[in-house]
């Protein structure tokens, strides 16, 4: 009996040991590895595009204008710039709107550039550098001029407008008026109501003689002008480089 009990005990121990081995393997098999949500990617033929975090920045259209010249002054209201646009070439002061544009005006006039407010943004118009600034090997030294480079592109027609004065069918001369709000008109000594009767000794009351002066007025930088002011004559010299 004793031997039988030992044998049964041993068989029971073996059965329990094998049972634990099997149960441990099943427990391990039940534990599935965790997969991060970011790593789970469903398979599909077409997937949704990833949204970009940075939207494209709208590019402002360059202003179709060229800076032809600048007459600079320490006082901002005395400075003006000559700008060429599709609407033509014209002189502008700070705050003035550019001809041919709905939303373009002069923000500031500096010595070598002009700031233009266009379509809600500021654009810079810079003066074109002459050829001798391009660094050529054969470039010779250039003597610095005492005259503002922008003044080379300015003429009497940019400041003064001549309009024929006809009384009783006779040409009595030409009214001379300022083209814009520039102080040039006052600096020359001209006054409202002045009538030009001579320009560089040419009689402006004779239509044939005055015709040549009118044709060249937009090319002239200076002139000796005789005006009739009330009952007397005044000699005035107008010069875009000095006045």
SS3 128: coil
CA–CA distance, 158 with 164 (Å, rounded to integer): 18
Whole-number CA gyration radius for the chain: 44
| Cα–Cα distance for residue pair 203/205, rounded to 1 Å | 5
**Per-domain residue ranges of the chain:** 66-126, 156-239
Taking the complete model, does pTM exceed 0.85, yes or no? no
For the chain, helix (H) and strand (E) counts, in that order, are: 3, 12
In this prediction, residue 194 carries a pLDDT of: 94
* Low-confidence winner among 23-32, 99-108, 164-173 (lowest mean pLDDT): 23-32
Q: Is 90 helix (H, G, I), strand (E, B) or coil?
A: strand
Element (H, E) at 225: strand 222-229
Q: For 24-28, 57-61, 138-142, 188-192, which range has the lowest pLDDT when averaged over its residues?
A: 138-142
Q: What is the CATH number of domain 156-239?
A: 2.30.42.10
| Residue 226 near residue 233 (C-beta atoms within 8 A) | yes
Q: Which of 1.10.10.1100, 3.40.50.720, 2.30.30.830, 3.40.50.300 is the CATH number of 66-126?
A: 2.30.30.830
Task: Characterize the bridge pairing of strands 222-229 and 202-203.
Answer: unpaired
| Per-residue model confidence as pLDDT tens digits over 117-161 | 888 888 898 887 655 444 544 444 444 444 454 567 889 988 899
What pLDDT is attached to residue 26? 59
**Position 68 pLDDT exceeds 80:** yes
What's the pLDDT at 112?
A: 86
């Amino acid at each position: 009996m004793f031997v039988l009990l030992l044998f049964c005990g041993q068989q029971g121990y073996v059965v329990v040991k094998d049972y634990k081995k099997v149960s441990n393997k099943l427990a391990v098999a039940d534990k599935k590895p965790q997969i991060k949500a970011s790593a789970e990617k469903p398979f599909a033929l077409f997937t949704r595009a990833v949204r970009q975090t940075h939207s494209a920045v709208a590019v402002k259209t360059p202003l179709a204008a060229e800076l032809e010249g600048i007459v600079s002054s320490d006082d901002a209201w005395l400075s003006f710039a000559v700008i060429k646009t599709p609407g033509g070439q014209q002189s502008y002061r700070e705050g003035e709107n550019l001809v041919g544009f709905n939303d373009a005006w002069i923000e500031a006039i500096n010595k070598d550039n002009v700031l233009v407010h266009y379509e809600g943004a500021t654009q810079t118009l810079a003066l074109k550098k002459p050829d001798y600034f391009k660094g050529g090997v054969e470039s010779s030294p250039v003597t610095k001029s005492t005259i503002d480079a922008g003044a080379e592109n300015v003429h009497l027609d940019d400041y003064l407008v001549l309009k024929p004065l006809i009384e009783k069918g006779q040409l009595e001369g030409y009214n001379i008026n300022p083209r814009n709000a520039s102080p040039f008109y006052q600096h020359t000594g001209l006054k409202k109501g002045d009538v030009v009767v001579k320009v560089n000794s040419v009689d402006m009351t004779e239509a044939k003689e005055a015709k040549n002066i009118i044709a060249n007025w937009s090319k002239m930088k200076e002139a000796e002008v005789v005006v009739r002011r009330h009952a007397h004559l005044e000699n005035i010299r107008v010069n875009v480089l000095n006045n």
